[in-house]
Structure 1
Amino acid sequence: MQITTKNSTSCDPFDTGFWSVSAWTVGVALLIGIFTIIRWSDWNYGYDLGIFSQVVYNVPRGFVDQPEFGTHFHYHFAPILAVLWPIMALFKSPLVLQWAAIVLVCAATPMLYVLFRPYTDERTSVRIALCSLFNPFLYSQAFNEFHELCFLPVLAIALLWALDRERWVVASILAVLLFCVREDAAITGIVALLVVTVLAWRQSRIPGTDRRGLLLGEPLHARTAMSVSLLLACTGTLIIGAYFAYAKAYLGGWEPATFYRYSFASTPLGVVVALFLQPTQSWPTLATIGRAGYLFEALICTLFLPVRSRWLFLALPGLAIVLLANSIGVWRIGAQYALLWVPWLMVAFGEAVIRIAPDARGRWFLGCASVLAAIALVGNPLHLGTYLRPSYGDLADARRALARVGNVALSTHDEWQTHISVVDPLANSVLSPTSQWFVYASDYPNKRFQTIIKPEIERMVRDGVIRVVAQYGNVVIYRRIAATKSL
C-alpha cells in the first residue's frame, strides 16, 4: 500500500491533478448544461421540477407548492432549499434549479480528489475522482429533474474531508447543512458520524500517536474526533426527531411512509424489524430480481471494490432506504434516490483503491473505465432520445393557450405546469378542485393523461362543471362554471 503522507493535513491538494479533475468536471457540466437547455426548450421537464420551483420560490411563504397542496415539509424536511431562494427570486425561472443541480452534483468530483490526495499519489487520486464523475448513478442526477438530494454528495464528502483534516468548526457547519438536506439524507449522515465515532473510539484505546489519518481508520487526534462526531450525530438525531414529531403532530404524518407499507409492516422501521422477526413474510416480498439487479448495477460500476472497505458501512443506510421501498421507481438507475448512497460508496471505493498495490491499480481502473463506458454507450441513464425532443407536437398552441389564460389558478400537463410554475405560482399539475382554469391537449402523448385525466375532464364537461372557452389546435382551455374571470 502506498500512502503519500501520514499526516493528512500536510499535503496541498490543489496541484496539477486537482486542476485536471476540475477541467474534466467543467467539461461534463457544460455538456450536461447544453442538454439541459435543449430539454428545457422542448418543455420536457416534468412534475418534480415544477414542485421544487414553487417550493423554492415560496420559501418566505412556508415552502408551499400547488401539486402537494401545502408545505413541502409534509413530504420532506428540506430547509436547505432556502439557500436557492435568492437566485430563484432574482431570475424567476425553474431553469435556475437545473443549473444548481449540475453545479452541486459535479462539485462532488473535485471534492473527492481533495479528500484522497494526501493519502495517495496524484494519478491514483485523479482516477478515483474520474470514476466518481462518470458513475451513471451520479452524473444522471445532474440531468435529472432537480431534487434536494443534489446537495448531499458534495456535503457528504466535504464533511468527511473536514473531519479528516480536523476542521471541527467547518465539520459542524457542514453536518448541520447535511441534516437540512432531507430527513433520509440526514440519517445517512448520522450513521456516517457514528461510524467515525466508533473508529475514533477504537483508536483512542490504542497507545501511540503514529496514526495515518481518518480514511485509514486512524484519526490523528482520536479523542477529539470521537467527541465531535458523536456530538454532531446526537445533534442530527435531535433535529430529525423533532421534524418527525412535528410532522406527526401538525402535518398529518410523514407522507413518504407510504413507500414502506406492506402486509407485514407499515413504517420504515417496521420493515427493518420484520426482516428479523417476520422473515418468512418479509424476505420473499423484498428479495426480488429487480432489487438484486439494482444492487448489482451499483456495485459493478466500482467492480465491487467497496466491499473491501470499512467505509461500505456508510453506504448501507442509503441502500437500505432505497431497496426496502415498495416502488420500482425508487430502485432504478437514474432515480434521484441513488444520491442517498452513491457519495458514501465512492468514498469506500477510493479507500479500497489506495489499499491495492500501486502496480495493480492500473488494471482495476481500466476494468472500471470499461464498465462505465459500456453503461454510457448501451444503457445511458440520461435517456437523451426521450428527453431531447418536444414533449408535445405543437408547443406553439400550448404557449398561446397558456398566455391567454394568464396568471390564474389552473391545472395543466406536468411539463407545461413546470414551465410556468414560477410565473404562475397558482399553476398545478394535478386536476385540482381549487383550479378555476384547465389547459389540456386532447392528443397529449401520455398514458396517464389519456386513461385517467382526459376521461375525468370529459365527465366534468358533460356534468356542467367546466366548459370550453377557447381552443388552439388540440389544446383546449376550460373554465370552471363558477369562475368569474373573463378572457
Structure 2
Amino acid sequence: MSKWKLERGNPSVTILQLAGVFFILCLFFTLHRYYSFYASFDQGIFNQVFWNNLHGRFFQSSLSSSLSTNVIHAGEVPTVFYHRLGQHFTPALLLWWPIYALFPSPATLTFLQVTLVTAAGVVLYILARQYLQPSLAVMITASFYAANAVIGPTLSNFHDISQIPLFIFTLLLAIEKRWWWLFWLMAVLVLAVREDSGVGLFGVGIYMILSKRFPRAGIGVCVLSFGYMLVLTNLIMPLFSQDISQRFMLERFGQYADGNKASTLEIIWGMISNPWRLLVELVTPVDRTIKYLIGQWLPLAFVPAISPAAWMIAGFPLLQLLLGKGSLVLAITVRYALTVVPGLCYGAILWWSQHQHKFKPSFRRLWIGCICLSLFFSFTSNPNRTFYFLIPDSVKPWVYISLPQQWQHVAKIRLLLAQIPPDASVSATTYLVPHLSGRRGILRLPALELRNDAQEVTKVDYAIADLWQLQQYQAAFKDDRRQLQDLAKLVDRLSNNQEYGIIGFQNGVVLLKKGASSDIQATAAWLQFRQQLQILNIQSLNPVTFADYPIAPEKPC
C-alpha cells in the first residue's frame, strides 16, 4: 500500500467505528453467553451484590458467604447477611447503582462491562492524540481493542477490574492536560475499585517520579496508594471478615508465609526476607511467563517490551501476577490480565512520541499482522466458553454443543425456573446461579443450608440442577464427571428420604422442592435419566483419554 488508508479518512470516525464494532460484537457474544446459560458463578455473585445494594443491604451476598473462610475452613453455614467487603473492598460499584436500579438484571452488568471497556478505548485514543499523529493514535487504540488481555476479560462474567482501564486512562489524560482535580478524583476511584488496585496506581506514581515530570505529585500518589492498601487490608477489611488474611492472601501468596493466615505486611516481609524464593517465583514457570509476556506485547507489536515507561507503570501489576500462585494468574483471558494493559498502552504512546519516524509502511504492515494474530488467538482461545457453539471444547474425545442443541435446552430450563418463586431461597448448579441470583438466599449445589436474617439455620426452599450440561462435558473433563455423579446421588438421597420432592424434570434438568411430594411423571423421567447415567458410569470404567487442553473455569471472586 503506497498510502495507508487511515491517513485519507477521518480518524475520529475511524475510532468511533472501531469502538462500535468492539461494542456490538462483545455485547452480542456476552449477552448470548448469559442468555444461553454459560454465564457462571461470578456473574451471580455480582448480581446478588447489586440486588442487595438496591434493597439497602449493601455488599451482602450469600453466594460470597459460601466462599468465605468461615464456611470453607471452619465449616460454618453460609449466611444471607455476609458482607462481601471482607473479601474484596469494592465501593466503586456504587457508581453504577442508578443504572442497575433502572434495569435490575444480570444482563445489565454485562452491558455495563462492555460499555466500560469500550469507553476506555475512546479515552485511550484521546490520550494518544496528546503525543501522536492521528494514524498512530488509531493504531494504538486498535491494538487495545484487539488485545487478548482485553477481549478475554470483557467476554467473561462481570468483574470489578473492568473499571480499571477507563479510570487509569482518564487519570493519565488528566496528567497531560494538567487537570489535577480530575487526576486526584480518578486516583480515588482507582483505589475504590478493589483492595489491590492501588498496585497499578503505585506504578503511575513511580513513573511520575522517575520521569521527573511531576515528582512531588508522584510521591503523593505512591504514599496514598501504598498506605491505602496497607490500612485497608490490615485494619478495615478485617472488620467485616478474616477472609483477606485467612484465605485470599494465602491462596495468592501463601508461599511467602508460614501458618494458616497472613497479613499483607507479613507477605511483603516474607518476600523481602527471602529474595531467592522471590526470584524463583518471578521467572517460573519460565514457559508460561514468556508466553504471557508475548501475549501482552503482541497487539502493540512488542513496543512495550522496549519502553521504559511501560515497565515503570505496568511493571507493578505485572509483578503482582508473576509473584502470585495459581493456575489462572498467568491466564491472558482472565480478568487479572486487564490490570497490566493501561501501562503497556501508555508506555507504547510515550515510546512512539520519540520514534514517530519509524512508523513506516513496512512496520505498519507488521503491526497490522500482530493485531490480526492477537484477534486470532483471542478467538481460538474461546475465552470463558463464549464461542462454545463454534469451537469444540475437546477434540479427543469429541465434546461440542451446537447452537440448536443449547437453545432447545434453554427452553426446558426456563420452564423449570418459572416454577421457582422470586422470594424463595434456592440452591442451583453453577450456570443456573446467575439467572436466580436476584434474591436474598441463594447457594450453589450441593450446599443446601443457610442462615437467614432471623439467625436461623434453614434449608433452601428449592434446588435445581442442570445435569445435562455436565453430561455433555463429562467425557473430557474429570471435574464435570465427578460433579455429575455427586449431584445425581444427592438428588437420589433427597428424594428417597422425602426431604425434597422432585416436582419437575426436563431434558436433564431436575427441580426439587422442600417438603413436597414427588410428581409421578417427573420422578419417572428422573429414573430413566439415572439409568442412562449408570450406563455411562459403566462405560467410564474403561480407560479414557482426556483432553490435553481443557478450558479452565473462571476463578470465583
What is the TM-score when the length of structure 2 is the normalising length? 0.73
Q: Which residue of 2 aligns with 1:234?
A: 223
Give the partner amino acid of 1:23. Q
Q: Which residue of 2 aligns with 1:143?
A: 155
**What is the CA-CA distance between 1:265 and the residue it aligns to?**
3.2
Q: Which residue of 2 aligns with 1:96?
A: 108
2:500 is equivalent to residue 467 of structure 1: yes
Tell me, yes or no, if the aligned pair for 1:353 and 1:361 is still in contact at 8 Å.
no
Tell me, yes or no, if the aligned pair for 2:257 and 2:267 is still in contact at 8 Å.
yes
Cα deviation digits, residues 49-81 of structure 1 (max 9, x gap):
111111122223121122111222122111110
Would you say how many aligned residue pairs link Structure 1 and Structure 2?
445
Query: In structure 2, which of residues 284, 292, 297 is the aligned counterpart of residue 294 of structure 1?
Result: 292
Q: Which residue of 2 aligns with 1:8?
A: none
Query: In structure 1, which of residues 240, 251, 260 is the aligned counterpart of residue 241 of structure 2?
Result: 251
Give the partner amino acid of 1:477. L
Change (3 A) 1:261 1:28: closer
Query: In structure 1, which of residues 397, 410, 414 is the aligned counterpart of residue 430 of structure 2?
Result: 414
Q: C-alpha distance in 1, partners of 2:36/2:161?
A: 25
* DSSP-derived class of the 2:500 partner: strand
Tell me, yes or no, if the aligned pair for 1:39 and 1:387 is still in contact at 8 Å.
no
Pairs within 5 Å for 1:335-374: 335-374=334-373
Query: In structure 2, which of residues 26, 45, 61 is the aligned counterpart of residue 51 of structure 1?
Result: 45
Pairs within 5 Å for 1:4-403: 16-59=10-53, 60-69=56-65, 70-200=82-212, 219=213, 225-244=214-233, 245-254=235-244, 255-265=247-257, 277-278=273-274, 281=277, 287-288=284-285, 289-311=287-309, 312-380=311-379, 381-383=381-383, 384-386=386-388, 389=403, 394-403=409-418
**What is the CA-CA distance between 1:361 and the residue it aligns to?**
4.3
Q: C-alpha distance in 2, partners of 1:102/1:379?
A: 16
Identity of aligned residues (%): 19
Q: C-alpha distance in 2, partners of 1:240/1:359?
A: 41
**What is the CA-CA distance between 1:131 and the residue it aligns to?**
1.5
2:466 is equivalent to residue 477 of structure 1: no
**What is the CA-CA distance between 1:338 and the residue it aligns to?**
0.7
Larger mean CA deviation between 256-265 and 181-190 belongs to: 256-265
**What is the CA-CA distance between 1:230 and the residue it aligns to?**
3.0
Give the partner amino acid of 1:29. F
Tell me, yes or no, if the aligned pair for 1:271 and 1:324 is still in contact at 8 Å.
no
**What is the CA-CA distance between 1:196 and the residue it aligns to?**
0.8
Uncovered stretches (5+) of structure 1, i.e. residues with no partner: 1-14, 201-218, 220-224
Tell me, yes or no, if the aligned pair for 2:132 and 2:352 is still in contact at 8 Å.
no
Larger mean CA deviation between 62-71 and 42-51 belongs to: 62-71
Cα deviation digits, residues 189-218 of structure 1 (max 9, x gap):
123123313433xxxxxxxxxxxxxxxxxx
Uncovered stretches (5+) of structure 2, i.e. residues with no partner: 1-8, 66-81, 391-402, 451-459, 518-557
* DSSP-derived class of the 1:325 partner: coil
Tell me, yes or no, if the aligned pair for 1:56 and 1:84 is still in contact at 8 Å.
no
What is the TM-score when the length of structure 1 is the normalising length? 0.83
**What is the CA-CA distance between 1:103 and the residue it aligns to?**
1.0
Larger mean CA deviation between 329-338 and 32-41 belongs to: 32-41
Q: C-alpha distance in 2, partners of 1:283/1:74?
A: 31
Q: C-alpha distance in 2, partners of 1:299/1:276?
A: 29
Q: C-alpha distance in 2, partners of 1:370/1:27?
A: 19
Change (3 A) 1:361 1:259: farther
Tell me, yes or no, if the aligned pair for 2:206 and 2:222 is still in contact at 8 Å.
yes
